[in-house]
Structure 1
Amino acid sequence: MQTLKNVVQPALIHNPNSRKNAQDKGHFLRMARQKLGDYCVSSLNDSHLPAHLTELKSKGVDLIVISGGDGTVSACLTTIAAIYHDCPLPAVAILPSGNTNLIAGDVGFGLHGDAAIDRLLRPEGLKSCIRAPIRLSWPDEERPAVLGMFGGCTGYARAVRIAHSPNVLKFAPHDLAVFFTLFTSMASLLFRRSRHSWMKGDRLSWSAQGKDLPRESRDGRSFLFMVTALEKLSHGIWPFWSTGNGGSGFHFLDAHAFPKALPRACFNLLRGRAPEWLRSHEDYVSATVQEMQLETDSDFVLDGEVFPASASGRLMLEEGPAFRFVHV
């Protein structure tokens, strides 16, 4: 953890469509514009971000404040990396206001509303930490790469589609909507009609580069595959073996199709525990890696955004550029 020094100018990117911002009837935006002036940008659509960030870069902005959920943060990080490619990346502060705020749970700013803006206008002495988002790309397509912090495919992608339904988002806002996906995967096993479909998973082959890998590749089917560049999730849940990677690489978990001891494994992972029997179990693989090549017929979900599988099924996960996240 380091202290922020010599910041020239903060700027705010505000998503008016995010849950909290849409509910406050514009109060936060009006207040921010009074204090930040032209350095407060309200972006209705991600397609507007390149123009906004190009202008902010030209003004010397080196602290980008993001008011939105995980999807907004992902879109901003992707665009920031593209616009600031020829110079040092600006620091980032996250003010959570979306349907899901997993990223803020790890690297959020820690203040809200007026207090957050006032402190960001006095950035000297703020603390910071480094996280390198995951870069998702499709080698066989011209689809642009994206950066994100939490995602997955196979059973995770199935469950996210359920969690995105209006009824779930209405009654399980914020990060609970994401963790509902994990419980959905488990609950589906209680019903005979859905048990076999969920347990057999989806086709998934992968090869990886990283230290302490129990194996460098796998070819088969996966019940649940998840990745994250974060170091902490909400409610004590941590479905990965490794912790505290110091910003080097990202974590992944692959639970094979028809995994044995699944209730026992879930009981531990949902409590942030990975006992030795689970670490050595042949149906569960978890490690910290710098790069993974995947081939699957499943969609891939990154920070809540669903990306359909390519025609070849191939995709690449890599450690992205390192960002400095500012917090109190």
Structure 2
Amino acid sequence: MAPPIYEFAQVPHVDKHAERDARARRQKAPGEAPCVGVIYNPRSHGNQGADFDCGITPHVHIAQPGDRSQLPEALAEFAQRGIDLLVINGGDGTVRDVLTCGAGIFGENWPAIAVLPKGKTNALTVDLGVPGDWTLQQAVEAFQAGKRIHRRPIEVATQGDTPAGKVLGFILGAGAFTTATKAGQGAHKLGAFNSMAVGVTAAWGILQWFFAGPTNSWRRGSPMKIHLGEQQTPMEHSGLGSPDWRQFMLASTLEVLPAGIKLFGPLTKGLKMIVLDQIQRRSILLIPSVLRGKVPSGLRERGIHQISTPQFTLDIEAQFIFDGEAFPAGKYRIGQGPELEFVTP
């Protein structure tokens, strides 16, 4: 079953003049425990049927928003409390919604963030090196003695006549990636999650690319136009297939992807993208090497592009996927959001 379409008109927004940089400045006494705010998503896969321990410390404040519309109120309350640590208990979709709603509240003054991997997919925590069984207590302890990793999320903004709005997340894909996400839902039903689901779906996709016909959704891709940088330079096309179509597109600011996949080759920092034109069957044999981070010669001539860019625009005539959820066709500006500090073990 296809995921629901995320409409920008439904994104809760906060008046930038009302709440931005509202996080209170709190002076902590030596040895005082950090003030922690927890966004707990009871609908996340790893939380279903589980009670959340709310009695860890009086300095921990728990919010369980029923839906996206309640997130701004919960985050604004955390900001007024002057929290030192924001804990997101959920999967990649929960992280996307919290960052999106929090952008108008925290602005450039975010607290440190810890993520408990409780979703069906937890790509961000794979990148951060967070174990799957990480607990709230361990996250609070890591605030004092753990490591800090900085990442900038992808910022997707609408253009043209669509409702204004911005969404923050970490993995954006289109074309066969949309098909793969739907296939991943089937893998979840079979009990495969996280890196296992990614590995199973990638293997299935390679088989589809090799054996399926041109009308198959894995091979057909989507009509899209990509322009790079502030100058909006049209992205080159290998000439394989229609110049208005791309078979596969994936963009991310993560440095480590699930299942050990290294689609961006030597590119690691910032906003990166891999794009496949309508590649030929003999070129599909290169995909396993590309997945391992190898860069065979002549990739672009064979329809495989690995690009690093601070921003790009995407004009797409089909749905695309952003952190597991479908977004409608349209014109979008994709850049990078604020630099965030993540707490890790």
State TM-score, norm by structure 1.
0.84
Amino acid at match of 1:13: I
C-alpha distance in structure 1 between counterparts of 2:181 and 2:142, whole Å: 39
SS at match of 2:301: coil
SS at match of 1:95: strand
Contact 1:107 1:327 in 2 (8 A): yes
C-alpha distance in structure 1 between counterparts of 2:306 and 2:284, whole Å: 18
Structure-1 residue corresponding to 2:344: 327
C-alpha distance in structure 2 between counterparts of 1:98 and 1:228, whole Å: 19
C-alpha distance in structure 2 between counterparts of 1:139 and 1:122, whole Å: 40
Matched, 1:39 2:57: no
Amino acid at match of 2:48: A
Structure-1 residue corresponding to 2:263: 239
Do the aligned partners of residues 113 and 43 (structure 1) sit closer, same or farther apart at CA in structure 2, a change above 3 Å counting?
farther
5+ long unaligned stretches in structure 2: 1-27, 237-242
1:183-217 CA-to-partner distances (Å, cap 9, x unmatched) read 3332323544566553232212111128xx9x752
Task: Identify, as 1 or 2, the structure richer in helix.
Answer: 1
Structure-1 residue corresponding to 2:12: none
Matched, 1:68 2:90: yes
Structure-2 residue corresponding to 1:131: 151
Structure-2 residue corresponding to 1:283: 303
Note the aligned Cα RMSD (angstroms).
2.7
Do the aligned partners of residues 139 and 242 (structure 1) sit closer, same or farther apart at CA in structure 2, a change above 3 Å counting?
farther
Number of paired residues?
A: 307
1:259 CA displacement: 4.0
1:69-108 counterparts in 2 under 5 A?
Answer: 69-85=91-107, 88-108=109-129
1:92 CA displacement: 0.8
C-alpha distance in structure 2 between counterparts of 1:51 and 1:216, whole Å: 41
Structure-1 residue corresponding to 2:227: 207
1:238 CA displacement: 1.1
Contact 2:39 2:63 in 1 (8 A): yes
Contact 1:11 1:36 in 2 (8 A): no
Deviates more, 1:121-130 or 1:221-230: 121-130
1:108-127 counterparts in 2 under 5 A?
Answer: 108-110=129-131, 112=133, 114=135, 116-118=136-138, 120-121=140-141, 123-127=143-147
Contact 1:134 1:147 in 2 (8 A): yes
SS at match of 2:121: coil
Matched, 1:57 2:79: yes
State TM-score, norm by structure 2.
0.80
C-alpha distance in structure 2 between counterparts of 1:268 and 1:107, whole Å: 24
Contact 1:10 1:121 in 2 (8 A): no
Amino acid at match of 2:255: E
Amino acid at match of 1:169: K
Percent identity of equivalent pairs:
25
Instruction: Find 2:196's aligned residue among 167, 170, 176.
Output: 176
Structure-2 residue corresponding to 1:255: 276
1:135-159 CA-to-partner distances (Å, cap 9, x unmatched) read 1122021142111111211111122
Do the aligned partners of residues 258 and 270 (structure 1) sit closer, same or farther apart at CA in structure 2, a change above 3 Å counting?
closer
